């Protein structure tokens, strides 16, 4: 791959430069604050995929004295042909001048060959005071692109667009916090058209990023599938000695096991949350959500949770029939086919019937306390017997994934995970429904799915993610 392009993000103080850098470099550790002067030195932020640097963003301080800088440049330039050299001379001469510290930090990467991303706030009116900044940038002779990043509620982007078009080769509206992923790629393609030597590396960069996005979705589906298996199969077990049996009532033992089971399930879901966030390079997220709360109106087994994330009876009947039919096929095999398919039919009907009647409520896992034997008593809690538990966890996981996959790295607001008001999973295809239900059924019996079933579950979860993504798009 050719040398990775470098883009310096420049502009007036406090107009969203660091937000643009954070989003385009996929780095949520970059400081973003409302007060001017957050960035005091230019800093490089490379975007790397599979060990390959695709491009580098340079975060810079804002202009402080652009009119004085422009006056110096005009006084020391003889012709238009020496303007770039005059800008470089200004940096060399004023590097230690405290009056122009920010301007020297800003112009240094441009003098070294970086392209220009000029950022303005489209929510404030255009002012001629910005023309000194834009004139200085034009003097550098570097390929340039202007972004209108509206921070506030007002919109003056039309006026800005007309003014910026006189100074920059490309002008785009780009909300660093809200812009969808396709707009990121569009900016890279636009830069590739401005500089011939950048066209090939930026074309490759867009393909790398598009492939990375697909890979992350598949990896997220695998993480969710594994968590579903863990959560559905988990059984807490405790063995007590004779002395412990004497000191512990069955009720106390039951309460202890329930509490440990609930807490472990909470922790497993939170581990999944963090894994998805790290996958998408979101390392600083703070979440605001109703966690797996077990003893209030948000209880995982409550009617509220079931309505928010579970699936309908009709869905369960469809999924259960397919999964049960596979089990019933074993009857046909044992009878060497003489049942004429009756085994598959009976298995399918049992699966559909069982799943259908689970739809009315979320059932608690089974608590088993064995009899005292050889001075020991064994108690177990779990695994969960209700498939709706799996669908509730699946819904929460896919919803969290969607928010993370859509979130730009400039976002600093709390991640608010509110339940979806739709049975979006109803759009999932029949085969995916059956593959999910089949794994749930095995987990309820404490049986691990084989490699083929795990692969089918991952594919089904990925289809569920697509279904949810499409449902969300239809809401906008």
Provide the pLDDT confidence category of residue 78 given band limits of 50, 70 and 90.
very high
Q: What is the pLDDT of residues 230-288, one digit of tens each?
A: 999 999 998 888 888 778 887 888 888 888 998 898 889 889 999 999 999 999 887 66
Q: What is the DSSP string of 181-223?
A: HHHHHHHHHHHHHH-HHHHHHHHHHHHHHHHHHHHHHHHHHHH
Tokens of 174: 């780009």
Band (pLDDT 50/70/90 cuts) for residue 39 is low
User: For the segment 203-234, what is each residue's pLDDT rounded down to a tens digit?
Assistant: 999 999 999 999 999 999 999 999 999 999 99
pLDDT by residue (tens digit) across 60-72? 999 999 999 999 9
Domain ranges for the chain, please list them.
6-194, 216-312+359-475
CA geometry: angle at 35 spanning 34 and 41, to 5°? 110
| Chain centre distance of CA 433 | 24
pLDDT of residue 51: 87
For the chain, state the CA radius of gyration: 30
Q: What is the mean pLDDT of residues 289-301?
A: 49
Q: Is the dihedral of CA 410, 413, 414, 419 positive or negative?
A: negative
Q: What is the mean pLDDT of residues 470-475?
A: 86
Residue 460, pLDDT score: 97
Q: For residue 101, is pLDDT > 50?
A: yes
Cα pseudo-dihedral 346, 349, 354, 356, rounded to 10? 180
Distance CA 3, CA 56 (A): 11
Please tell me the class of the 6-194 domain: alpha beta
pLDDT at 321 over 90: no
Closest C-alpha to 358, from 399, 328, 397, 315: 315
Entry pTM: 0.85
């Amino acid at each position: 791959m050719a040398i990775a392009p470098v883009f310096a993000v420049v502009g007036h103080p406090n107009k969203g430069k660091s937000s643009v850098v954070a989003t385009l470099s996929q780095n949520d550790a970059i400081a973003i604050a409302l007060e001017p002067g957050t960035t005091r030195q230019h800093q490089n932020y490379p975007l790397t995929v599979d060990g390959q640097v695709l491009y580098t963003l340079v975060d810079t301080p804002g202009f402080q004295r652009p009119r004085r800088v422009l006056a110096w440049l005009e006084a020391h330039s003889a012709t238009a042909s020496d303007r770039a050299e005059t800008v470089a001379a200004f940096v060399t001469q004023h590097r230690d001048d405290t009056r122009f510290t920010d301007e020297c930090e800003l112009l240094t990467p441009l003098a070294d060959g970086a392209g220009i991303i000029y950022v303005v706030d489209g929510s404030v009116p255009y002012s001629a005071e910005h023309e000194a900044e834009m004139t200085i940038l034009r003097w550098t002779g570097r390929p340039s692109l202007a972004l209108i990043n509206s921070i506030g509620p007002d919109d003056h982007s039309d006026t800005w667009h007309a003014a910026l078009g006189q100074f920059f080769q490309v002008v785009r509206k780009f909300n660093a916090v809200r812009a969808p992923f396709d707009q990121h790629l569009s900016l890279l393609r636009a830069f590739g058209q401005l500089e011939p030597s950048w066209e090939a590396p930026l074309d490759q960069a867009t393909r790398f990023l598009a492939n990375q996005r697909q890979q992350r979705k598949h990896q997220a589906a695998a993480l969710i599938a594994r968590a579903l298996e863990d959560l559905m199969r988990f059984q807490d077990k405790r063995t007590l000695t004779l002395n412990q049996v004497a000191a512990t009532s069955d009720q106390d033992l039951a309460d202890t096991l329930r509490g440990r089971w609930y807490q472990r399930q909470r922790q497993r879901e939170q581990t999944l949350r963090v894994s998805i966030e790290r996958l998408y390079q979101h390392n600083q997220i703070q979440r605001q959500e109703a966690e797996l709360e077990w003893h209030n109106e948000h209880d995982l087994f409550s009617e509220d949770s079931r309505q928010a994330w579970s699936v309908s009876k009709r869905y369960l009947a469809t999924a259960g029939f397919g999964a049960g039919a596979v089990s019933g096929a074993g009857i046909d095999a044992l009878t060497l086919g003489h049942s004429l398919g009756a085994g598959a039919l009976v298995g399918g009907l049992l699966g559909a019937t069982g799943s259908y009647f689970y739809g009315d409520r979320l059932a608690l896992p089974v608590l088993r306390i064995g009899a005292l034997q050889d001075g020991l008593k064994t108690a177990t809690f779990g695994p969960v017997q209700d498939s709706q538990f799996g669908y509730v966890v699946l819904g929460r996981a896919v919803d969290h994934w969607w928010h993370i996959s859509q979130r730009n790295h400039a976002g600093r607001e709390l991640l608010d995970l509110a339940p979806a008001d739709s049975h979006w999973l109803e759009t999932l295809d029949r085969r995916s429904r059956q593959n999910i239900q089949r794994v749930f059924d095995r987990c309820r019996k404490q049986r691990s799915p084989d490699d083929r079933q795990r692969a089918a579950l991952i594919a089904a979860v990925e289809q569920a993610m697509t279904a949810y993504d499409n449902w969300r798009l239809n809401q906008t």
